[in-house]
Chains A and B, each alone.
Chain A
């Protein structure tokens, strides 16, 4: 999932200066699961803003809403009319969601309520950790299912650096060295010879931003429906 965290309240408050009627829009998928921008977080942020504004004798009208996904046209369409009644939308989606809402509801002003962090997993209750850098050239078959691009602080493809110590990372003694993890898992699985292969430099040419992914078959179907 995409993992995000809420922006500091002071920053959100600053963004809202000058607005008296806003919609706080939650997103019901990734950021809902990582407890940053779902229905519950919309509710909490709305009360926080109401209280802060009341304290300063400032007026603000807040509408709360959450759609299933802000990265999907069909869900954004459901709030188009309602959103038009507000001066601004404070979106609690990831950066992709914020931009798509802004694109579809333009010229309505969309403000980001979250900082998008990474693609990760729910490691434990209340703990999320990064697992994928979306490099577009997956090497997990070679590295025992542990991503060196993400888990190694230097994204090294050919083994540990000289800074690793007792299986820990040079950057943070509490973090495991990715290449020690890879080494141990390959060894346990009897596949240590994989560590002898020299991996060539990544082909960054395939990643010119912004990237697109097109499924030709499906694309045609959508067209024919229109």
Chain B
């Protein structure tokens, strides 16, 4: 894959592929580094999650730096949960001076979901306001209106959950994110391509690229767990059945993910693969999907 920036890839008209890595809890990063090596030339951007699931881990910025050092294109995830606006703005400046120019703005899971339940949740900003501030900083000012000696430059993204119920408040927020300056979206995991296509039809008036989320299934149990516990995720029964019947669950999970990506090609301009521990299998998924 040619060395385009993520932003260039987004505007190139090609089918864009991003994936993500989760920093580890501790300083052993060998496995993460080898995952980055496997992924960096196969995708257009690698998201680095920010204390995902409210579990304390290596900082997203540090790992983004390692991704860039290895020649990958890092997408810095920043949640509003752990940092006030001052810390977030400082992190954005830090990212830019390290050559990281892609940003995904998220609200963040609540602390009650994670391993630091007695910590103070911050939420000084929300995702819409964080997008706005990133854009203000591009215009050369911080959120308090003070001039920056050197503005930032970001390709700013956000998330949307096409499976949200009710959907309308989610869509209203999606519009606000665009008004605030969001340049791309990554979605919650999609398993029902037809349903997702209906969502895409609803938002076709907005000319902002939406990358459909893909989470490879590892087992029928994982699918059932997500159906019960993850907002907006709905794995159809037929896929659960397919997984149940399969002798080799791993091969089947990869096959289904690749099939989803192929089907999504006609529906949206790209995908975001969240492998959750299966990072080393992403190249195989992409090959089966006919990418790269």
Contact = CB atoms under 8 A, between A and B. Distances in A.
Contacts of B179: 198
B78 to A, nearest CB: 15
B110 A159 contact: no
Contacts of B128: 158-159, 198
9 contacts: A153-B110, A154-B123, A159-B126, A167-B166, A170-B109, A171-B112, A183-B169, A192-B172, A195-B169
A156 B231 contact: no
A162 B176 contact: no
B165 interface: yes
A155 B85 contact: no
A126 interface: no
Contact of B169 (A159, A165, A166, A200): A159
Contact of A180 (B126, B160, B166): B166
B161 interface: yes
Interface string B162-201: 0011101110110110011000000010000000000000
Interface of B: 80-81, 85, 106-110, 112-113, 121, 123-129, 132-133, 143, 159-161, 164-166, 168-170, 172-173, 175-176, 179-180, 188, 231-232
Contacts of A164: 164, 231
A156 B165 contact: no
A159 B173 contact: yes
Nearest to A157: B126
Interface in A189-205: 192, 195-196, 198-202, 204
Interface of A: 153-167, 170-172, 179-180, 183, 187, 192, 195-196, 198-202, 204
Contacts of B121: 153-154
B143 A163 contact: no
Contact of A195 (B107, B129, B172): B172
Given A164-B164, A165-B231, 8 more contacts: A154-B123, A158-B128, A160-B169, A162-B170, A165-B232, A166-B165, A187-B168, A196-B176
Contacts of A199: 129
Contact of B176 (A159, A163, A167): A159
A156 B166 contact: no
A198 B107 contact: no
Main secondary structure of the interface of A (DSSP, over half): loop
A120 to B, nearest CB: 19
Nearest to B173: A159
A162 B159 contact: yes
Contacts of A162: 106-107, 159-161, 164, 170, 188, 231-232
Most A-side CB within 10 Å, residue of B106, B121, B169, B231: B169
A198 B135 CA distance: 14
B126 A170 contact: no
A161 to B, nearest CB: 4
B110 A200 contact: no
B165 A183 contact: no
A171 B143 contact: no
Nearest to B128: A158
Given A165-B231, A170-B113, A156 B107 contact: yes
A170 B176 contact: no
